[in-house]
Amino acid sequence: MLWTEFLFFFSALGVFNGILLVLYQLVMVKPRTKQGYLLGFLGLAFCVRVGVSCIYYFQQVIPWTAVQIGLSAHILIGPLLLAYTVHSWKSLSKWRPLSIKILVFSGLAIVLFGLLYPFYAHARIWDYHVRYTLHAILSCFLLLTTLLLISSVFPNGKKRALTVAEQFSLLVYWVSTLICSGFVLSLYVDYVLGPIISSLLFYGALIYLGLKSKTKQSAPITSPKMQREEAEALLQQLEAYLQRKQAYRNPKLTIASLAKELQWPKARLSNLLNSHVGLSFTSYINQFRIAEAKQLLLEQQLLTIEAIGYEVGFGSRSSFFATFKQQTGLTPKKFQETYLK
């Protein structure tokens, strides 16, 4: 009896703390982003699913509506995990619109099904057909998410350097996968395994994050040098992002704002440029600006030279002319006259 009460307390405490963490994520964490909301709702879906299982196992008496809500939350775990993952990885950005559509469709589908076939009137359908169908659907979403992550972590068959957001999303993925495995295991062993495994993983993840944060705080302020392979991978990501987004065109671009866009620590970007490129942030960004300015000088002859300077991101005529001559040895006008002959 005492052991049963302990298991109930441990499982219920995990659910309660999980709800508090979810509320903190949804309400307190700033800046509020789509990625953050998806993580919060993913945690909420797990808390509802685990909480209903916990009460159902230990109390044996639970309203049928609560069981229906628990199973409905279950079907949203897969779409939420997929949507959160693709919003955490820039390499998966093309999947973002589709993931949101799948999430909305799944939510509407389970709500409509619940209205047409409520649990209290169709308990057998929910308790057997729906329950096992939900596990199959969740398995498909886990498989799809796994394949997408593999393609992002090993884009060319070789592991690349990961951003902090990507590393955290992997932790969320592994915890979610293990909790879902606990759900499946509980169907064949003991129903209480789901809540217990969920609580163990919840506290394990918190301990891991706490130790990682403590290690990061106790580390020296100076950033360690990167390995060449890691630096080359990060440089490729940086250059691809600057070319794709044309972020260098923003005259107010700073190393802090660019690091935030990339979801990198500022120290990592600074270390990358100083140690492996040998340029200051401004000099590095100006390379992209001058490269585009040279192209525009030859292709857009209707634009004035000053307009081209502003177009590529320089904040003044003087800084454009000075930087252009420093990098090419020619003034913009002389460059245009020389190469248009």
Q: Which of 151, 253, 192, 186 is nearest to 11 (CA)?
A: 192
| pLDDT bracket for residue 187 (50, 70, 90) | low
Note whether 136 and 187 are within 8 A (CB). no
Q: Find the length of the chain.
A: 341
pLDDT of residue 319: 92
Quote the pTM value: 0.59
2-218 and 228-339 agree in CATH topology? no
Paired tokens of 308: 């081209």
pLDDT above 60 for 12:
no
Q: Which of 108, 109, 106, 93 is nearest to 34 (CA)?
A: 93
The domain locations on the chain are 2-218, 228-339
pLDDT tens, position by position, 209-223: 555 545 444 444 444
pLDDT of residue 61: 65
Q: Before 224, cis peptide (omega within 30)?
A: no
Neighbours of 287 (CB within 10 A): 15
pLDDT above 90 for 103:
yes
pLDDT of residue 313: 93
pLDDT above 70 for 289:
yes
Burial of 180: CB neighbours in 10 Å, binned 0-12, 13-18, 19+: buried
Contacts of 121-127 with C-beta under 8 Å, sequence gap 24+, read 123/64, 126/67, 126/68, 126/71
Second-level CATH architecture of 2-218: Up-down Bundle (1.20)
pLDDT of residue 320: 92
Note whether 126 and 68 are within 8 A (CB). yes
For residue 36, the one-letter residue type is G
Return the minimum-mean-pLDDT range out of 45-54, 74-83, 165-174, 181-190. 181-190
Return the minimum-mean-pLDDT range out of 212-216, 301-305, 334-338. 212-216
| pLDDT bracket for residue 339 (50, 70, 90) | confident
Burial of 330: CB neighbours in 10 Å, binned 0-12, 13-18, 19+: middle
Second-level CATH architecture of 228-339: Orthogonal Bundle (1.10)
CA dihedral of 314, 317, 321, 323, whole degrees rounded to 10 = -30
